[in-house]
């Protein structure tokens, strides 16, 4: 096992990885940009190396500096987390070339799954269902081929993924222009203008399967997660198991994921994502060759530490268990807490973490990368933390998460905490009627209700925090009015 | 005293209309009876119109973030630069936007009439002249020409004077 690991990431996932390293007695090295110098992941690590970059997020993308930091600190392995360089095949290669273990799959597999057109072809070759699609070549037959697949179509970039660079085309009149625009966008954002178009499934569910492979052809699945509650292709609420899913379908999805990963001789953790159509048909979407944000719900229902499994596999010790011993228990739901204003079209917000009170409870887990006093700036992603609740069944997990959200206090920066609570209490959520359009469809029912008396109470509490107003209200001059407790 | 506030996109004025036997406040159009209970670091407990509320509050500049009943509110007290409005007894002028001082027109100890110039400021590419809202004596000018200031910065303070409450 490694004695020192460098984490090439920040925020909540860096803190999450650090927790496992600490529990295993492995020394940790954090990297950070100057703007993150007060961040928890820097304070928690055994060692921290500052990276130089003009733009803070660029520091975490600087391959040369990160590898140099690993070499200087004698780290034997690098955990890339998610986002940043986690799915960068070139980085994986450079890390390996430097004699350091990259905690993740082989570069060739990262490259394969990162190219969505190649990944689809690979899935087809394994007999995994994929949605009918067309590519942008041969303009002469384009319209006919599109009609054969059927509208609406969803245009995707080969080098995209994670919801980036997608657009819906509903009529053949728009097709050629949309493909051209999408190709230009893809070239600009991903440096690769290849696009393809798939049959767009209306009201789909997004179901994904967690897999672990040892790189020698042995793969286990860790069951599925439901990630249908999304806004602009960003997941907001995730859970395991997927509600209202027939057992047979669950088996098929997991088997398809395993066969794909096995064929790729997959090493380490990965997730195979599927789209589930209302008629019960499912189609391969993409494979993410890294740990995902929502991995905690899998950990909760299986009682596992996925980061520990990643370290184990990377250290060459293989898989810790066979498929037969894995039995999920209960239900877990996670929600992503973001610095944004739901009532203003979810625009990202800035501020400072003034007060942070994390809810207690044996069945509640708070994975955060923030601390009281920390500035929240536009420099980084708006996700601040994840709140996860576990229960013996879905209703209990939802009730526990709703309670935890009400108890959570995060003041000083606007967040979506109240909005998340309303989702968790929505009758359609509780009935498990989920699809990727859920949040738009129920937008009206999810907006904040007006509670004039409560608002008045909040206003009074705020007024009495203003020294002048308070002094006038108490008819007692400052500073006496502010000292100590008093009763009216 | 009156204090202008904004919450949930609504503006209003807060006024104390009575203190005995309990504190009575007007918030915009509605009136409320308030009594306070406990307070501590960040926490508060009070009752409004007979209903008890417990929660948290955090002051950040001219905004107060409040968490009560599992719901978060942000109450803002915008500080206005006075330009001849009579907004009640105000012993200081604070900047409502960041900016820079162009010129200082008054001196400590100077007695001013309503409308007399105090400062010329530039904010968001606009020049603004701050004047005394009523007859007052300048105690101190806290900025100098070319000084850069943030929102909420103290610009001018006046000698406190007893005034008739409107």
DSSP structural state of residue A482: G
Determine the Cα–Cα distance for residues A388 and A16; give it in Å rounded to an integer. Answer: 13
Q: At B38, phi and psi to the nearest 5?
A: -90, 155
Residue A404 to chain B, least CA–CA distance (Å): 10
For residue B37, is pLDDT > 80?
no
Residue whose pair of structure tokens reads 């990727």 in the numeric block: A436
For B58, the closest of A354, A453, A474 (CB atoms) is A354
To test the contact with chain A by mutation, choose from B17, B57, B91, B154 the residue with the greatest count of A C-beta atoms within 10 A, namely B57
pLDDT band at A479 (very low <50, low <70, confident <90, very high): low
Say if the Cβ atoms of A411 and B57 lie within 8 Å: yes
A185 vs A355, higher pLDDT: A355
Taking alpha carbons only, the member of A396, A235, A240, A215 closest to residue A319 is A215
CA distance B26 to chain A (A): 10
Pairing status of strand A167-169 against strand A27-33: unpaired
> Which pLDDT does position B166 carry in this prediction?
46
CA dist A336 and A210 (Å) reads 19
Based on C-alpha coordinates, what's the Rg of chain A? 24
Q: How far apart are CA A51 and CA A80, in angstroms?
A: 15
- Subunit contact A355:B58, Cβ cutoff 8 A: yes
A415-438 average pLDDT score = 97
pLDDT in tens, A58-82: 999 999 999 999 999 999 999 999 9
Which residues of chain B lie closer than 8 angstroms to A355, CB-CB? 42, 56, 58, 65, 67
With tokens 């700036």, the residue in question is A377
- Residue that wins the pLDDT comparison between A264 and B103: A264
pLDDT value of residue A346: 92
SS3 at position A219: strand
Q: Tell if the CB–CB gap between B73 and A418 is shorter than 8 Å.
A: no
Q: Find, in chain A, the residue whose alpha carbon is nearest to that of B44.
A: A461
ipTM for the complex shown: 0.85
Look at residue A142 in the predicted model and tell me its pLDDT: 83
Percent of chain B topping pLDDT 90 = 37
CB contact under 8 A, B66 and A462: yes
Collapsing DSSP to helix, strand or coil, A340 comes out as strand
Of B16, B55, B72, the CB nearest to A461: B55
Decide: A457 and B46 in contact? Cβ < 8 Å.
yes
Residues 6+ apart with CB under 8 A from A405: A335, A359, A387, A417, A420, A421, A424, B70
Question: Which of B148, B46, B134, B22 has the alpha carbon at shortest distance from A464?
Answer: B46
From first CA to last CA, the distance across chain A in angstroms is 64
Residue-wise pLDDT for A30-42, tens only, equals 999 999 999 999 9
Give the C-alpha separation, A57 to A466, whole Å: 38
Instruction: Identify the pLDDT of residue B88.
Output: 42
Closest CA to A134 of A69, A199, A65, A39: A199
CB < 8 Å to A469, chain B: 1, 3, 14, 16
Distance CA(A387)–CA(A438), nearest Å, equals: 20
User: Does the structure show a pLDDT above 60 at A195?
Assistant: yes
pLDDT beyond 90 at B49 = yes
Tell me the β-bridge partners of A337. A385
- pLDDT of B83 reads 36
Q: Give which of A118, A113, A115 is closest to A257, Cα–Cα.
A: A113
pLDDT at residue A39, as a whole number: 94
Chain B residue whose CA is closest to A412? B65
Catalytic residues of A: 290
């Amino acid at each position: 096992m490694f004695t020192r690991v460098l984490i090439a990431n920040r925020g909540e996932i860096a803190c999450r990885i650090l927790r496992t390293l600490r529990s295993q007695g492995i020394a940790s090295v954090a990297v950070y940009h100057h703007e993150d110098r007060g961040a928890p992941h820097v304070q928690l690590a055994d060692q921290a190396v500052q990276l130089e970059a003009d733009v803070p997020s660029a520091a975490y993308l600087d391959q040369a500096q990160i590898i140099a930091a690993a070499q200087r600190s004698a780290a034997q392995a690098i955990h890339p987390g998610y986002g940043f360089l986690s799915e960068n095949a070139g980085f994986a290669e450079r890390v390996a070339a430097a004699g350091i273990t990259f905690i993740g799959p082989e570069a060739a597999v990262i490259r394969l799954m990162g190219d969505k057109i190649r990944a689809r072809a690979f899935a087809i070759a394994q007999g995994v269902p994929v949605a009918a699609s067309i590519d942008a070549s041969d303009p002469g037959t384009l319209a006919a081929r599109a009609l054969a697949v059927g509208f609406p179509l969803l245009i995707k970039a080969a080098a995209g993924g994670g919801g980036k660079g997608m657009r819906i085309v509903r009529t053949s009149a728009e097709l050629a222009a949309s493909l051209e625009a999408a190709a230009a966008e893809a070239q600009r954002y991903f440096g690769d203008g290849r696009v393809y178009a798939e049959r767009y499934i209306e009201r789909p569910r997004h179901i994904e399967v967690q897999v672990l492979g040892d790189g020698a052809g042995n793969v286990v699945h860790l069951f599925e997660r439901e990630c249908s509650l999304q806004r602009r292709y960003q997941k907001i609420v995730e859970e395991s198991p997927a509600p209202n899913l027939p057992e047979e379908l669950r088996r098929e999805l997991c088997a398809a994921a395993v066969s794909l990963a096995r064929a790729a001789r997959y090493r380490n953790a990965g997730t195979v994502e599927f789209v589930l159509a209302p008629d019960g048909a499912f189609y391969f979407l993409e494979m993410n060759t890294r740990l995902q944000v929502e991995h905690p719900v899998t950990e909760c229902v299986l009682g596992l530490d996925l980061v520990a499994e990643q370290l184990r596999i990377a250290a060459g010790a293989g898989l810790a268990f066979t498929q037969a011993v894995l039995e999920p228990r209960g239900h877990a739901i996670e929600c992503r807490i973001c610095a944004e204003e739901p009532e203003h079209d979810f625009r990202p917000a800035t501020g400072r973490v003034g007060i942070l009170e994390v809810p207690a409870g044996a069945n509640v887990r708070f994975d955060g990368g923030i601390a009281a006093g920390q500035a929240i700036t536009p420099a980084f992603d708006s996700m601040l933390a994840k709140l996860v609740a576990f229960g013996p069944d879905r209703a209990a997990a939802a009730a526990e998460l709703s309670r935890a959200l009400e108890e959570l206090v995060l003041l000083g920066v606007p967040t979506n905490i109240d909005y998340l609570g309303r989702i968790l209490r929505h009758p359609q959520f509780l009935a498990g009627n989920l699809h990727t359009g859920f949040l738009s469809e129920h937008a009206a029912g999810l907006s904040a209700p007006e509670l004039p008396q409560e608002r008045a109470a909040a206003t009074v509490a705020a007024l009495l925090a203003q020294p002048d107003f308070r002094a006038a209200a108490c008819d007692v001059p400052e500073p006496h009015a502010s000292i100590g407790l008093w009763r009216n | 005293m009156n204090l202008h506030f904004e919450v949930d996109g609504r503006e209003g004025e807060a006024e104390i209309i009575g203190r005995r036997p309990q504190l009575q406040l007007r918030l915009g159009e509605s009136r409320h009876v308030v009594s306070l209970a406990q307070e501590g670091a960040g926490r508060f407990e009070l009752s409004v119109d007979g209903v008890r509320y417990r929660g948290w509050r955090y002051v950040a500049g001219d905004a107060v973030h409040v968490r009560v009943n599992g719901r978060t509110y942000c109450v803002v007290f915008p500080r206005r630069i006075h330009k001849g409005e009579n907004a009640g007894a105000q012993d200081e002028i604070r900047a409502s936007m960041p900016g820079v001082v162009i010129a200082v027109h008054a001196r400590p100890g100077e007695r001013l009439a309503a409308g007399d110039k105090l400062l010329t400021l530039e904010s968001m590419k606009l020049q603004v002249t701050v004047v005394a809202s009523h007859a007052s004596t300048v105690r101190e000018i806290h900025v100098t020409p070319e000084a850069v200031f943030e929102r909420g910065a103290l610009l001018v303070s006046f000698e406190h004077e007893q005034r008739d409450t409107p």
